Structure 1
Amino acid sequence: MKFPQPTYTEAQLEAYLQHIRYSRINAGTTLLEDLNQKVQSDALGTLTELQRLHLCRIPWGNSGLHYSHHHTISLDPDVLFEKMVERGLDGYCMENSGLFFIVLRSLGFHVYATGGRVSRSAATGVDDGRYMSLGHMILIVIIDGSKYMIDVGFGNNCATAPLPLKEGAVATNIAPSEMRLIRDSLDECINQDQKVWIYQTRHNPDSNWMPSICFSDVEFLPQDFGVMNFTVSQKRTSWFTQIFVCMRMILDPSGQEIIGQHIISGREVKRRIHGQSEVLKTLNTERERVEALAEHFDMHLRPSEIRGILGLTSELK
């Protein structure tokens, strides 16, 4: 017995392609018709383009936990579409990757999702070999028998292109930073025969590799992500519930390369280009942060959403 999987309609896919600013190459076709032709001729190249455009148009962030009256995150496919495509708001890992998952499935890609653990070094900058609990979504796409890791929900160090599930192949992330996958056991595991994929990054070719995420290629079900989403978004010790953050990748004028990020973290708006950071503005009030979200992320919050942060630890006072 096969269970039905959620998909988006042709009208929704067309709206998604418009939102991420996909450019057709065949005159006289819709965006979706053009894309479908490209998928047939070059599936991997088209997947790479979609990932790049998604990262540069849909912000990664947790506004739903701070700028709302409900302070919750829904993984319902239609809620994800309305929030990130129709409203143009941000989403954290299971929202961003959840949306992309359904888009890819709707386009005919052979794709499934698995769960990952984020390394503590991602927060501390020090690799002590430890990982947090399962709380991240990774997509695995199979093209011509080869598996690729896809991630559009890991913030600053997110993979910017599909990574083949092959050990040690180094790829440019946002130059000069690099990324790769290795296959290894976790120091915390009793059974050292168990191997997982570990996504690593480094600032430049001369710096040390740092682990970011570990994952297996075992498929997770929607109910698994429901439990993970509840923990990440509602646990009192989860940093997502305490700190507001928003990030979006920056595309070069040619549209072929991701060159940096716009970031709001704490009281600063930053622009990072090829590893060099610049503080664009220091935020002193909620009004200034809301204006910065509109200016740099094209995120326009409703009055009721803006009032939702009042009294929270993340409110700027």
Structure 2
Amino acid sequence: MSHRLDLDRYLQRIDYVGEPRVDVATLRALATAHIAAIPFENLDPLLGTPVSLDLAAIEHKLVESGRGGYCFEQNGLFIAALRAIGFDVSGLIARVLWNKPEDAEVPQTHMLLRVEVEGESWLADVGFGSMALGGALRLVVDEAQPTSLEPFRLVTDGVHWRTQALVRDEWRTLYRFRLQPAEAIDYVVANHFTSTHPTSHFLHSLIVARTLHDRRLGLRDREFVVHALGQESVRRTLQGTAEIRRVLEEQFGLRLPASPLLDAKLDALPMPAAV
């Protein structure tokens, strides 16, 4: 028997107030609340702990245990919540191009969602870390669309689509994808790569992000950064393990796992490279 998500508990976890409905307003509000409440984080791969895509495991980790996760967990939870509400939603898979050349050859390692609502197709994505989508995007071409923070847009060559964000007056690509729905096994294979392959950056760096209504918070190893909309980014280097723990708990709202390896991993994190 398949696991059934506790929708009420999920809504409490993301501080969603009101009765969710199958409409665009609810879709946008849920996505914005989700990325503010449940941080993106890779503590499990960093600690060598297997990442399960079983819904019961995801719910226990992200909802009950006060943890976050990466895209397969975040969007795996979100798709279950949307379906429980009554949305018509399918999963897609993408190749990440953030901070890479537009023609980079990269594997399919990112999950996003396509939602059919109010007679139109929309894209939702609560799992893209430092550039998580606040709201949802209508599946239309070359139209700048407002989100809770930066404008986003979609472009296509007729086969591949690209999601782009306007960052410092420049349209930058997050990832490219096709509209063909992904199979569950596609996520299993991609998750295995991202959580175990030696070349996956999730195994070697601490990566945490949280998107609030007016700013983005990020932590890469010891560098903590706050990106407030329309302002210069503020960066701070975290010194000791206690300070890293405090930022993870207070700024990202994480309930840290009881692992004897965690302090050792945090203590071994490298300092930012000198500019």
TM-score (norm: length of structure 1): 0.79
1:47-196 equivalences under 5 Å are 47-66=27-46, 68=47, 70-119=48-97, 122-124=98-100, 127-173=101-147, 175=149, 177-184=150-157, 195-196=159-160
Other structure's SS at 2:162 match: strand
- Paired amino acid for 2:238: L
- Paired amino acid for 1:278: V
What is the rounded CA distance, in whole Å, between the counterparts of 1:102 and 1:128 in structure 2? 32
Counterpart among 297, 300, 313 of residue 252 in structure 2: 297
Q: What is the CA-CA distance between 1:262 and the residue it aligns to?
A: 1.6
Q: What are the Cα deviations for residues 104-129 of structure 1, in whole angstroms up to 9, with x where unaligned?
A: 1111110010110111xx135xx342
Partner of 1:19: 13
Partner of 1:307: 261
Go from structure 1 to structure 2 and tell me whether the alpha carbon gap of 1:128 and 1:197 turns closer, same or farther (over 3 Å shift). closer
- Paired amino acid for 2:151: E
What is the rounded CA distance, in whole Å, between the counterparts of 1:79 and 1:179 in structure 2? 32
Unaligned runs of 5+ in 2: none
Unaligned runs of 5+ in 1: 25-33, 185-193, 251-257
Q: What is the CA-CA distance between 1:144 and the residue it aligns to?
A: 3.2
Cα pair 1:118 1:131 within 8 Å, conserved: no
Cα root mean square deviation, aligned: 2.2
Q: Does residue 224 of structure 2 align to residue 269 of structure 1?
A: yes
Q: How many residues align?
A: 270
Q: What is the CA-CA distance between 1:300 and the residue it aligns to?
A: 2.0
Q: What is the CA-CA distance between 1:274 and the residue it aligns to?
A: 0.2
What is the rounded CA distance, in whole Å, between the counterparts of 1:208 and 1:291 in structure 2? 34
What is the rounded CA distance, in whole Å, between the counterparts of 1:298 and 1:130 in structure 2? 34
Cα pair 1:135 1:228 within 8 Å, conserved: yes
What is the rounded CA distance, in whole Å, between the counterparts of 1:266 and 1:303 in structure 2? 19
Which is higher, the Rg of structure 1 or of structure 2? 1
Cα pair 1:152 1:158 within 8 Å, conserved: yes
Cα pair 1:286 1:315 within 8 Å, conserved: no
Q: Does residue 252 of structure 2 align to residue 278 of structure 1?
A: no
Q: What is the CA-CA distance between 1:278 and the residue it aligns to?
A: 1.4
Counterpart among 190, 193, 198 of residue 162 in structure 2: 198
Go from structure 1 to structure 2 and tell me whether the alpha carbon gap of 1:282 and 1:197 turns closer, same or farther (over 3 Å shift). same
Q: What is the CA-CA distance between 1:208 and the residue it aligns to?
A: 2.8
- Paired amino acid for 2:13: H
Q: What are the Cα deviations for residues 123-163 of structure 1, in whole angstroms up to 9, with x where unaligned?
A: 35xx3422421000010001133211110011122221211
1:203-222 equivalences under 5 Å are 203-204=167-168, 207-222=169-184
What is the rounded CA distance, in whole Å, between the counterparts of 2:116 and 2:209 in structure 1? 28
What is the rounded CA distance, in whole Å, between the counterparts of 1:21 and 1:146 in structure 2? 27
- Paired amino acid for 1:246: V
- Paired amino acid for 1:97: N
Q: What is the CA-CA distance between 1:174 and the residue it aligns to?
A: 5.2
What is the rounded CA distance, in whole Å, between the counterparts of 1:242 and 1:313 in structure 2? 13
TM-score (norm: length of structure 2): 0.90
Partner of 1:30: none
What is the rounded CA distance, in whole Å, between the counterparts of 2:177 and 2:61 in structure 1? 27
Partner of 2:190: 228
Go from structure 1 to structure 2 and tell me whether the alpha carbon gap of 1:308 and 1:72 turns closer, same or farther (over 3 Å shift). farther
What is the rounded CA distance, in whole Å, between the counterparts of 1:114 and 1:171 in structure 2? 20
Q: What are the Cα deviations for residues 231-275 of structure 1, in whole angstroms up to 9, with x where unaligned?
A: 11111011111111111111xxxxxxx211121112122222105
Cα pair 1:242 1:313 within 8 Å, conserved: no
